[in-house]
Structure 1
Amino acid sequence: MRAGLPFAQPGTRVGLLGGSFDPAHRGHVHITEAALRRFGLDRIWWLVSPGNPLKPHGPAPLRQRIEAARRIMHHPRVEVTGIEAALGTRMTRDTIAALQRLYPGVRFVWLMGADNLVQFDHWDRWQDIAARVPIGVIARPGWRMPARFSRAARMLWRARLPEAQAGQLAQARPPAWAMINLPLNSLSSSAIRADGRKEPT
């Protein structure tokens, strides 16, 4: 296995939660712990990205964001990584394709907030992402209905699993997706940055 990459055996159900995590906060922890339970995952890897091409302002240095994320995310089945930097990928589709080559037999699930589903059709090669891995969507406050009626959701409506079957998502053949509704913490990284506060650990 390439240096800097986590270990996973074939058959392991691994959720991938990508983002700038600038900074990581308890809202990220809450959705991660919920995704582990509700989607029936064995592990979740946080993919702290070198940069987000959809965001106009660059994030804090990668090492700084990873270290801060590791201080707040304390769970034995969650690993904070800089996988995209290690692989040299920037786009989600390329990262997933590389991981599938490196980890044959691992059942990857891409995780995203419902707000990201609303803009998913603007992602680079988004339909290829949906064809490669099941997608677990976590509904955040104010985004349930916009996500449900987004362009990507409408185009993938036949592939949607009922929420009651979300625990089988990792075994589903893509395209497949499920959305879970949670009373989530509305805290956001942008709000923390705007307020000039550090999220308490």
Structure 2
Amino acid sequence: MPYAEKGMQIGLFGGSFNPAHAGHALVAEIALRRLALDQLWWIVTPGNPLKSTRELAPLAERIRLSEKIAQNPRIKVTAFEASHHIRYTADTLALVRAKNPGIDFVWIMGADSLRDFHRWQRWRQIVMTFPIAVIDRPGSTLSFLSSVVAKTFDYARVDEGDAPILARMRAPAWTFIHGPRSLLSSTEIRQAAKK
């Protein structure tokens, strides 16, 4: 886990990053700026329980490409889940909380992930652990409102203008952040590489 000091605001941006691309870097940069983060931990996961592992590149390769894409020195690329044998986000967040008292975290996800978020293992626990920032993605700007999570936790939605203090809020709290969007997709990049 990267080093952090008490009082910091840190974003947690997890994914398989298979492969990492400029769209991921854009989400990270928007999160750093709009959430007033001291750091963003780019967490490269060993795998995704909801996706096939057949097309998953080796972890070391995904880390290498993530480090190449994430140029901002406040972005810390890490893969600590692998060394702790963690498969589920709820367990990752519990570990982060236990090992980092006095630090304010916010979970960061693309709006495209919000659609299926209710299928994640212990998704309600995730929402109750740290505030969540949902970053706009192409094709997901309006559909996020119909997601199970958005409907279930509608009462906990925070105005986008309060994004800089989101990490200091008590969960459940979440916001949707509009901004520039990238059309890049890891799935489409893999499919193009096959051709």
**What TM-score does the superposition give when structure 2 sets the normalisation length?**
0.96
Verify: 1:71 aligned to 2:46, yes or no.
Answer: no
Instruction: Give unpaired runs (5+ residues) of structure 2.
Output: none
CA RMSD of aligned residues (A): 1.1
Q: Which residue in the other structure is 2:98 paired with?
A: 101
Q: Is the 8 A contact 2:47 2:53 kept in 1?
A: no
Q: Secondary structure at the match of 2:134?
A: strand
Q: Given residue 128 of structure 1, which amino acid in structure 2 is its aligned partner?
A: Q
Verify: 1:8 aligned to 2:4, yes or no.
Answer: yes
Moved >2 Å (runs of 4+): none
CA offsets 1:91-148 (integer angstroms, 9 cap, x no match):
0000100111111111111100111111111111111111110000001111011111
State how far apart, in whole Å, the 2-side matches of 1:103 and 1:177 are.
Answer: 21
CA offsets 1:140-167 (integer angstroms, 9 cap, x no match):
1110111112111011011000111111
Q: Which residue in the other structure is 2:184 paired with?
A: 187
CA offsets 1:28-53 (integer angstroms, 9 cap, x no match):
11110011011111110111000001
Q: Given residue 76 of structure 1, which amino acid in structure 2 is its aligned partner?
A: P
CA offsets 1:14-73 (integer angstroms, 9 cap, x no match):
101110111111011111001101111111011100000111234111011101111121
**What TM-score does the superposition give when structure 1 sets the normalisation length?**
0.93
Q: Is the 8 A contact 1:87 1:98 kept in 2?
A: no
Verify: 1:18 aligned to 2:17, yes or no.
Answer: no
Q: Given residue 26 of structure 1, which amino acid in structure 2 is its aligned partner?
A: A
Q: Given residue 40 of structure 1, which amino acid in structure 2 is its aligned partner?
A: A
State how far apart, in whole Å, the 2-side matches of 1:43 and 1:76 are.
Answer: 9
Q: Is the 8 A contact 1:112 1:137 kept in 2?
A: yes
**Count of aligned pairs:** 193
Q: State the percentage of identical aligned residues.
A: 46
Q: Given residue 12 of structure 2, which amino acid in structure 1 is its aligned partner?
A: L
Q: Given residue 113 of structure 2, which amino acid in structure 1 is its aligned partner?
A: N
Which of 53, 69, 82 aligns to 2:79? It is 82
Instruction: Give unpaired runs (5+ residues) of structure 1.
Output: none
* Structure 1 position 183, deviation (Å): 2.5
* Structure 1 position 193, deviation (Å): 0.7
Q: Which residue in the other structure is 1:91 paired with?
A: 88
State how far apart, in whole Å, the 2-side matches of 1:131 and 1:71 are.
Answer: 33
